[in-house]
Amino acid sequence: MIVQEGIEENLRFLILEVRKQVEKTRKFLARPSRKLLESVRAKDDYIDNLKSIIQRKCFKHAVRDSKLQQAEIDLLKAVEIIAVNLERIADFSENIIGQAGYVIDEDVLDVYDFDPMLEVVISALDQVADAVFQQDVQIALLVCRAEDELDRMYAKVFHRVLQDMKEGGEPQSLVTVLFIFRYLERMGDSLLNVGEAVISAAMGERIKIDRFWALEDSLDSTNLTDLKENLRNVALRPMGETKSGCRISSVQNEKSGGRAVIFKEGKLGKLLDEKRSIERWHELEPGLAPQIHSFHHQGENGSILFEYLPGRTFEEIIMRKEVPDIESALRDICEVLKGVWTRTRDDKPSPAGFMKQMRSRLPDVYQLHPKFRQEGWQVDGLKFLPMEDLIEQAHALEEKHLRPPFSVFIHGDFNIDNILYDAEEKAVHFIDLNRSRFTDYLQDVSVFIVSNQRLQVFETPVRRRLNHVALSFFEFARSFAENNGDKTFQARLALGLARSLATSTRFVLDEDFAKSMFFKSRYLLEQLLKHPPDQLDTFKLPEEVLVD
């Protein structure tokens, strides 16, 4: 494909010309001459034109040919990234030669040995063509490793230059030498981008080298032989990114067609929490949470390899299915929840702290929607308090009068896209479990209801289904509350809904839609605060806040 377009030929020429520039730079540093300087500068426009030709051909081919497979598109993206970074290496060569003109003490160029770093760069450049055109992950890794090697070399030189300065070396010449080594180190950054582009094209998803190492280490510590022994055949497919920044992908051997696994990578703290929560779920409700194949951590980051759970998210079911299918899924979800809440019930209350949560996230809401921050105002003699004042009053009410009668083990982020349902097996599974804990079950209830409301889908049939799910789930939760003697269910749910409605707006860019949610939150708090605090068991939730 890329041969027919002339892309491969131009890229091979570009690799060759960049290698020549680096070789000339090596010769220049060994024996500076105007002839070499002019030779390097003369090739700058040619190399830039080659890069532009490759970019233009890649973009043109991607736009023109609607029959391209995803793998072909991925390769075109990789070639474009590679061309840009190769041209950058050529620019660094020219920068190095330009820097040499600032050396006062020319002997300094003989004292420092630039050859080892230049040899690493040239060796990596010699691997690029095979890595790209064979889409060989192992060769691409050799290109990536050049960056780490150059970093280590630069660190040693850096400390040596500092020491020479302290000992009275000529400052301008030493600073210039440091700049030259810095450009060589930056060549390593470009080579890393080249290697990552090849790996990304081969695996089907943009992937950084740290994430690749994490995946490799995760696979090494499992018995998933089909994946870990055939890494060059492994394909990654993006499955989303959590609001906490974790990236999620499916991992599968495309040639053998074996069963996929889920790879999740992100901040170590979040993933440790999720690992512990999943282990607790396995103790309490086996089969509800995914099995963990392996857990890996390095520095501040971690990764988990999960089993792949069949089914669709409940959000997908609502968006795509008819009401009978939704009813069946919702009925099974509620049945599972009822069992979990019943079996994990602990008469020792553990408040959710709805208003504390809301107060801590309000600054993020105001950052996206500064107009929501308002002082108190008055209309026809009616006074309206600032949201902060409503939260403080509701917090006092929550602390004094609205402690839950019991606690249960909750999901912790019970959005409709964190519930999987397998219609064939009638099986329910929970995912994204890092916030699971013992607390008020209304944390999950309120999050579930609002996750239906906050979807920015306005087609009437879909909106009707979302509203139906929210109301049905409310009725299920109310029935559970009545059967378990929870007399302040509706008052506490008002706090939970107010919290979820307001804090969800930090993920909603549509100003009018966000405003509607934010003022629903205000309305709930105002209605609750009007109610006599000694009669909160009689508070009735305005059902209009449950639908949109």
How high is the mean pLDDT in each 10-residue block of the chain (548 residues)?
A: 74 97 93 89 93 93 80 91 97 92 76 94 97 92 96 95 88 90 97 96 86 80 65 72 75 74 89 94 93 88 89 92 85 97 96 97 96 79 85 97 97 96 94 95 98 91 93 98 97 98 95 95 96 95 88
Handedness of CA 190, 248, 469, 499 (dihedral sign): negative
- Let me know how long the chain is: 548
The answer to whether the CB of 429 falls within 8 A of the CB of 420 is yes
What is d(CA 355, CA 498) in angstroms, rounded to the nearest whole number?
A: 9
Residue range(s) occupied by CATH 3.30.200.20 in the chain: 210-307
What is d(CA 183, CA 161) in angstroms, rounded to the nearest whole number?
A: 15
DSSP H or E segment with residue 196: helix 171-203
Query: For the whole model, what pTM was predicted?
Result: 0.80
Write down the CATH superfamily of domain 210-307.
Phosphorylase Kinase; domain 1 (3.30.200.20)
- Please report the DSSP string for 139-181 in residue order: HHHHHHHHHHHHHHHHHHHHHHHHHHHHTT--HHHHHHHHHHH
312-546 CATH fold: Aminoglycoside 3'-phosphotransferase; Chain: A, domain 2 (3.90.1200)
Q: In whole angstroms, how far apart are CA 8 and each of 2, 14, 53, 134, 141?
A: 6, 10, 11, 12, 21
pLDDT score of 524:
97
What is d(CA 66, CA 465) in angstroms, rounded to the nearest whole number?
A: 36
Q: In whole angstroms, how far apart are CA 525 and each of 68, 333, 355, 360, 494?
A: 54, 29, 10, 17, 7
pLDDT score of 110:
81
pLDDT score of 3:
54
pLDDT score of 364:
96
Nearest to 298 by CA among 375, 372, 213, 423: 213
Radius of gyration for the chain, computed over Cα atoms and rounded to the nearest angstrom = 30
pLDDT score of 233:
67
pLDDT score of 90:
96
Residue range(s) occupied by CATH 3.90.1200.10 in the chain: 312-546
Contacts by 332-340, CB closer than 8 A, 24 or more apart: 332/421, 332/426, 332/427, 332/428, 333/419, 333/421, 333/428, 334/473, 334/476, 336/288, 336/428, 337/444, 337/476, 338/476, 338/480, 339/285, 340/284, 340/285, 340/288, 340/408, 340/409
pLDDT score of 255:
67
What is d(CA 450, CA 517) in angstroms, rounded to the nearest whole number?
A: 9
Which residue type sits at 351?
A: P
pLDDT score of 242:
65
Tell me which DSSP letter residue 407 carries: B
pLDDT score of 324:
76
Residue range(s) occupied by CATH 1.20.58.220 in the chain: 7-204
DSSP H or E segment with residue 286: none
Tokens representing 433? Answer: 């479990």
Question: Considering the domain 7-204 in this protein, what is its CATH number?
Answer: 1.20.58.220
